[in-house]
Amino acid sequence: MVLCCWLYQEEMNRGKPNWEHLSEDLHVLITVEDTQNRATIRLKKAADEVRKLLVPLVSIGRTAGSVL
């Protein structure tokens, strides 16, 4: 129920002053400090994890963001 109200609030505020960020693309910055090989692997894993959060999953007829 909380997710539903939060999404509703975002939609109601879209286009209003101080809510311009709702119309912008999402930016995610991932940084790693390690050796070149390990950093490459860790960056790929981190990007994969972020991607999982951004792409809705379909499970048992519901999307990942749906409220039960």
Q: What are 36-55's pLDDT values in tens digits?
A: 999 999 999 999 999 988 87
Q: What distance in Å separates the CA atoms of residue 48 and residue 27, rounded to the nearest whole number?
A: 15
Whether the predicted pLDDT of 3 surpasses 60: no
Domain boundaries, position 46: 24-68
Q: What distance in Å separates the CA atoms of residue 6 and residue 9, rounded to the nearest whole number?
A: 5
Look at the chain and report how many structural domains it folds into.
1
- Which of 59 and 55 is assigned the larger pLDDT? 55
- What's the confidence (pLDDT) of residue 59? 54
Ramachandran region of residue 61, left (φ > 0), alpha (ψ -120 to 50) or beta? left
- What's the confidence (pLDDT) of residue 68? 44
Ramachandran region of residue 19, left (φ > 0), alpha (ψ -120 to 50) or beta? alpha
- What's the confidence (pLDDT) of residue 15? 87
pTM for the complete prediction?
Answer: 0.53
Instruction: Report yes or no on 18 lying in a domain.
Output: no
